[in-house]
Amino acid sequence: MPENLKALRGRIKSINMTKKITRAMEMVSAAKLRKTEGVMKASRPFMEKIQLLLGRLALSTGAQEHPLFQKSETGVPLLVVFTSDRGLCGAFNANILKLAVARLKSEPGLKVFVIGRKGRDYLRRYFATRIVREMTDATLTGEFTNAIADELMNVYLDGRYSRIELLYPHFISTVYNKPTMERYLPLEPAAFGVSATDALTPVDYILEPSPERVFEVVLPRFLKSKIFLTLAESMTSEHSSRMMAMNNATKNCNELASGLTLRLNKARQAVITTEIIEIVSGAEALKG
């Protein structure tokens, strides 16, 4: 059966239009990636310095007596899940939600604080009763992340939750991010890079003006910086995943367009050949 030339031309036109869209989305994601990656890299030195400071103080008596270091005997565990508000970013959200679902199934009492429309929509469908808080339209600003950190600290200090964990995509490179789960509260020496050997060595620091005042200032800053860096890594991973997905989509459009163009040329050549044969046959018939 001969190819329909009009249908082939229509499909090629549609694919080329789709290619323009995917190419534009790839360029937009690349621009956003550069911006969020710059913010993420700029915030890491502060986080490393404050973590180094707290690592030296985490073994002191004042630290161990601070409420944020105390393990709560009441409440249920809470998992904070970071996802994106938009799709078209490959397996970015699927990888995070796969790990979240595995934790929810293995720990019946676990509650969820979900950030991102995609995660909210999915978990609402299967674990609606486990969601205690949801946020969308996340922005990489201090006001947004500080509000999350303050809320998490308040609900933990109230004894509502026994522990709080973060589930987010850890940005490793432009082509790879890894779903990562980390303890957020209660704080523990391991969170600051303190080894097991160091933990066995008693340390008693002299803190001025007082241990309570030092931890009152430093610990909230550490926890707020942790949320900010986590959201920065999540957004950077999202943009890199979308950029790679749109790049692959553009390549697929090129391959499809090339294949259809070849089929169009073959079909057109077949039509031309058929017409030539008909003309020659008609001329021969007239001669006879």
Decide if 89 is catalytic: yes
Strands 76-82, 161-173: pairing is parallel
DSSP per residue, 153-204: HHHHHTTSEEEEEEEEEEEEETTEEEEEEEEEES--GGGGT--HHHHTS---
Give the pLDDT score at 61.
66
| Residue 67 scores a pLDDT above 50 | yes
| Residue 199 scores a pLDDT above 90 | no
Of residues 192 and 147, which shows the higher confidence score?
147
Domains of the chain: 5-24+245-287 (1.10.287.80), 33-243 (3.40.1380.10)
Q: Looking at 36-45, 102-111, 204-213, which range is the least confident one? A: 204-213
| Residue 155 scores a pLDDT above 80 | yes
Give the pLDDT score at 288.
59
Give the pLDDT score at 145.
94
User: What span, in angstroms and rounded, lies between the C-alpha atoms of 223 and 184?
Assistant: 8
Give the pLDDT score at 273.
87
| Residue 20 scores a pLDDT above 70 | yes
DSSP per residue, the chain: ----HHHHHHHHHHHHHHHHHHHHHHHHHHHHHHHHHHHHHHHHHHHHHHHHHHHHHTTSHHHHTSGGGSPPSSSEEEEEEE--SS--STTHHHHHHHHHHHHHHH-TT-EEEEESHHHHHHHHHHHGGGEEEEE-S--SSHHHHHHHHHHHHHHHHTTSEEEEEEEEEEEEETTEEEEEEEEEES--GGGGT--HHHHTS------SS-HHHHHHHHHHHHHHHHHHHHHHHHHHHHHHHHHHHHHHHHHHHHHHHHHHHHHHHHHHHHHHHHHHHHHHHHHHHHH-
| Residue 197 scores a pLDDT above 60 | no
The pLDDT-based confidence of 285 (bands split at 50, 70, 90) is confident
Among 59, 89, 104, 112, the one annotated catalytic? 89
Give the pLDDT score at 165.
94
| Residue 1 scores a pLDDT above 50 | no
**C-alpha closest to that of 82 among 269, 234, 192:** 234
Of residues 282 and 15, which shows the higher confidence score?
15
pLDDT tens-place string over residues 219-262: 888 899 999 999 999 999 999 999 999 999 999 999 999 999 99
Sign of CA dihedral 110, 114, 119, 123: positive
Q: Looking at 113-117, 133-137, 282-286, which range is the least confident one? A: 282-286
Integer-rounded Cα Rg, in Å, for the chain is 29
Give the pLDDT score at 200.
47
The pLDDT-based confidence of 53 (bands split at 50, 70, 90) is confident
Mean pLDDT of the chain: 87
